[in-house]
Amino acid sequence: MSNFPTPLPRLTVLGAGPGDPELFTLKGVRVLGEADVVLYDALANNDLLRYVRPGAQQIFVGKRRGMRSYAQDEINALIVENALQHGHVVRLKGGDPFVFGRGREEMLYAEQHGLLTEYVPGISSAVAAAGSVGIPVTHRGSSEGFQVVTATTATGELSTAVREAARSRTTTVILMGLSQLGRIVEIFSQHGHGQTPAAIVQNGTLPTAQLVTGLVAQLPERAAAAGIGAPAIIIIGQVARLAKAEAAVPTVFADLLAYAAVA
């Protein structure tokens, strides 16, 4: 019989931040070093795994082309199974787990099965990806507030939040929206935003970041021309005019500067 105490089953839901590993939190470093098992997503930078202690299990549960994807029910079961068997499970999720990350959903499931839980925030890409190319989500004289919405529901349909956001005059940041870009542009144009400045940021905060700027109506064509892909965020509002010139595709940004000059 072992003289070592049975590890206490627990779950820590941990935000990996927007991509740049230097934007990871100090608490996150400590938590990864304490983990017995780490379940990590595709949007969590793999460089962060160097903080995991030797001997701890690392299990990829994200979605990548050519690899098996785990359903949410399977991930929930893995959390409980590994916590009961090994002790401390850390669920490493891109951005902030409480911003369209199902973080609290996983915690509730774990709590229902007797696990202790903790939440450690991460920097959300909704703010950081925009800021990394010079776009603030609020700016005096341009935007007195901002809203963050998801474009895609759990069933893959366009979220009703997009239409509600289109009625607003504040900055709108849309996550998981690239596959719905045509519909998003159509809806925002119907509500008088076709000529509103906008931007798409792919891989924000990373060296591979790409930026497309223009007016809402121009986004689909420009995104296609630039080869923009996921993960990316869409920003709609006057603050998009503040994007850094050196971060943008030159021909795209030139048009935006011309618009700003007469706006």
pLDDT in tens, 75-87: 999 999 999 999 9
Which residues make Cβ contacts (< 8 Å) with residue 71, sequence separation at least 6? none
- Residues 156, 70, single domain; the answer is no
Instruction: Choose the final residue of a domain: 62, 93, 120.
Output: 120
Query: Sign of torsion, CA 189 235 200 14?
Result: negative
> 188 burial class (0-12, 13-18, 19+ CB within 10 angstroms)?
buried
Confidence of residue 1 (pLDDT cuts 50, 70, 90): very low
Domain assignment present for residue 153? The answer is yes
pLDDT value of position 248: 44
Can you list the positions of beta strands (E) in the chain? 10-15, 37-40, 57-60, 88-93, 116-120, 146-150, 171-175, 197-202, 210-215, 232-236
Residue 263 has pLDDT above 60, yes or no: no
Domain assignment present for residue 1? The answer is no
- Residues 85, 155, single domain; the answer is no
**What residue has token string 């979220």?**
159
- Residues 136, 255, single domain; the answer is yes
Please give the Cα distance from 126 to 103 (Å, whole number). Answer: 16
**Is 0.85 topped by the overall pTM?**
yes
- Residue ranges making up the domain that contains 115: 10-120
Residue 153 has pLDDT above 90, yes or no: no
- Residues 163, 256, single domain; the answer is yes
pLDDT value of position 68: 65
Return the active site residues. Answer: 41, 63, 176
- Residues 230, 152, single domain; the answer is yes
Averaged pLDDT for residues 221-249: 88
- Residues 145, 234, single domain; the answer is yes
Please give the Cα distance from 180 to 170 (Å, whole number). Answer: 21
pLDDT value of position 250: 38
Domain CATH number, residue 33: 3.40.1010.10
- Residues 137, 250, single domain; the answer is yes
Please give the Cα distance from 20 to 175 (Å, whole number). Answer: 18
- Residues 131, 173, single domain; the answer is yes
Instruction: Choose the final residue of a domain: 58, 89, 120.
Output: 120
pLDDT value of position 7: 75
- Residues 115, 162, single domain; the answer is no
Count: domains in the chain = 2
